[in-house]
Amino acid sequence: MEGTPKKEMRRNWILVALMLTMSLAAMDNTIVATAIPQIVGDLGGFSLFSWLFSIYLLIQTITIPVYGKLADIYGRKPILILGVIIFLVGSAACGGAWNMYSLIIFRGVQAVGAGAIMATVNTIAGDIYTIEERAKIQGWLSSVWGVSAILGPALGGAFAEYASWRWIFFINIPFGIASIMLISNFLHEDKPVNRPKIDWTGAAAMLATGTVIMFGLLQGGQSWPWLSYNSLAILALSILLVYVTIRIESKSEEPILPRWVWSRQVLLYANLATITMGITTMAPNMFLPVFAQSVIGVSAIAAGFILASMSITWPLSSSLSGNLYLKIGFRNTALCGSAFVILGASGFFFMTFPGSIWILVAIQLMLGAGFGLIATPLMIGVQSTVAWGQRGVVTGANMFSRYFGQSLGAALFATIFNAVLTNNLENAPAHLQAELPGVNKVVEVLQSRGSGSEVSLYLREAFFDATHYVYIGLLIVAIITMIILLLTPARFPTVEDEYNK
């Protein structure tokens, strides 16, 4: 047996390794969002840019439960290192992308690695820390998102303005190499004895189902009308694939997501609330940097810092949530968070054109506080309801729910934004019709024209209007989150930890 000082030192170094590894995925999200206008200006394809988020989130989401199973078979360490290597290969390929289509494909490669990172890091944290300790540790892990959210936009804006947006991907490589070295040196584990089968058929069915649903959400209302044969065909195929996936999973000896994960009331409602929370996080991440640069007219760096303000309060509220949920419970703490999100989303409606930087920052701070009070208690809450042997499954299911929600959010808010913007362009004053660009060229035109021109002014107003509707959608989903939490059992039954190295 390890002595307490040696055990604590090893855990401290593991925590450092986990934080550095987590920073890869955390920084990647914010740094890409900040540089969207420059990427679109170079590669074109504005209507496709949401796929940079949606394909990343989709593949990451589907692979999280699979990596949870692989980690049970081969151990956390080799799966985590493999994930980092795949992520770095994808990053290098993204940096060399020659058009929007290639960049989207290489973002998918990144996502294959990111799935291993997100699932395994949180599983390891749940393995080696007790319920009381996990609040503090999740605060540390959440702080990675806060630091990355500040550093990421700053780097993204700097690269976009003074070098090349391609460096937002190349910068991952030294961070990744350092994380692999730390993991190799300090994370030691016994090889698992049990080797269950992997439900590859179920994993493939889940991937196919998610892809069809995402494709339908992104293209519906854009490439074809919602009420059309194409939309109906996509809907029918989605229903069929959902049915097939459920059948495959129900008959599998080792399903990717076991039925009991969704049949236990506490887990079901907690994961549903996590899905809707994931949806809401995508509205500011996708559109706030573009809105700040294209409508208010701030620099890429300033837009990045506005976005980053949310991630200042997120880790802070996540850290403080530990004391709160130990007193009032996991569900009630998450309810407090949902109230913050509703207040934050409502703040956008107090802005008048062209918007206020300070109101945007206040909204972001409020949203961050809410997300931290929802995400951390729900994750630790579901982990506390099961023994060590099931912790990987419930952690994977909760992470799956969060990122599946983000995938839906990327599609939902892109659909709302593009539909409103397209409608505004089609119904523009007659004397402006000839000069107005298509949706793909709006950002490029706003960056190249003077802000005082009549065309630029109309485009900025159209952009403001489209973003306004995005935040209406955010508010509605936030209210749904609160309703789901009210249906969630107030008490999360806990069990004793079976694993304490």
CA distances from 293 to 201, 307, 452, 461 (A): 45, 12, 15, 13
4-187+254-487 architecture in CATH?
A: Up-down Bundle (1.20)
At 272-297, the pLDDT tens digits run: 999 999 999 888 877 787 788 777 77
> Distance (Å, rounded) from C-alpha 319 to C-alpha 324?
10
Our measurement of the distance from residue 353's CA atom to the centroid of its chain's CA atoms, rounded to an integer in Å, reads: 29
Segments making up each domain of the chain, as ranges:
4-187+254-487, 199-253
Tokens of 351: 């802005």
The beta-carbon contacts of 2-6 under 8 Å, at least 24 apart in sequence, are 2/501
> Distance (Å, rounded) from C-alpha 103 to C-alpha 92?
11
| Confidence (pLDDT) at 297 | 74
381 within 8 A of 326, measured Cβ to Cβ:
no
SS (H, E, C) 320-354: HHHHHHHHHCHHHHHHHHHHHHHHHHHHHHHCCCC
DSSP one-letter code for 438 = P
CA distances from 284 to 304, 311, 410 (A): 11, 11, 10
The tokens 């559109």 sit on which residue?
287
Q: What are phi and psi of 224, to 5 degrees?
A: -155, 160
The tokens 């019709």 sit on which residue?
433
> Distance (Å, rounded) from C-alpha 88 to C-alpha 331?
38
**Cα distance from N-terminal residue to C-terminal residue, the chain:** 8
| Confidence (pLDDT) at 431 | 62
Q: How many CB atoms lie within 10 A of CB 162?
A: 10
78 within 8 A of 188, measured Cβ to Cβ:
no
Tokens of 183: 């993991």
How many Cα atoms are found within 13 Å in the side-chain-facing hemisphere of 340?
A: 25
402 within 8 A of 375, measured Cβ to Cβ:
yes
> Distance (Å, rounded) from C-alpha 426 to C-alpha 424?
5
Which has the closest alpha carbon to 383: 294, 304, 266?
266
| Confidence (pLDDT) at 287 | 78
Q: Which amino acid is residue 25, in one-letter code?
A: A
* Each residue's pLDDT expressed in tens, for the chain with a length of 501 residues: 344 667 677 777 888 888 888 888 777 766 776 677 777 777 776 667 777 877 787 788 778 877 877 777 777 788 889 999 999 999 899 888 888 888 888 988 998 998 888 888 877 877 777 666 776 777 777 777 767 766 766 777 777 667 777 888 888 888 888 888 888 888 777 665 656 667 778 778 877 887 787 677 666 655 676 678 888 898 899 899 989 988 887 777 777 777 777 778 888 999 999 999 999 988 887 778 778 877 777 776 777 777 778 878 888 888 788 778 888 888 999 999 999 999 999 988 887 777 778 888 888 899 999 998 998 889 888 888 877 667 777 888 888 888 788 878 877 888 788 778 777 777 766 666 656 655 556 666 666 655 457 767 777 777 888 888 889 999 999 999 999 999 998 888 776 444 344
At 306-321, the pLDDT tens digits run: 777 887 888 888 878 8
The whole-model pTM stands at 0.78
3-state DSSP call for residue 224?
strand
| Confidence (pLDDT) at 450 | 52
Which has the closest alpha carbon to 16: 152, 185, 190?
185
> Distance (Å, rounded) from C-alpha 497 to C-alpha 389?
10
| Confidence (pLDDT) at 373 | 92
> Distance (Å, rounded) from C-alpha 38 to C-alpha 161?
8
DSSP one-letter code for 436 = P
DSSP one-letter code for 197 = P
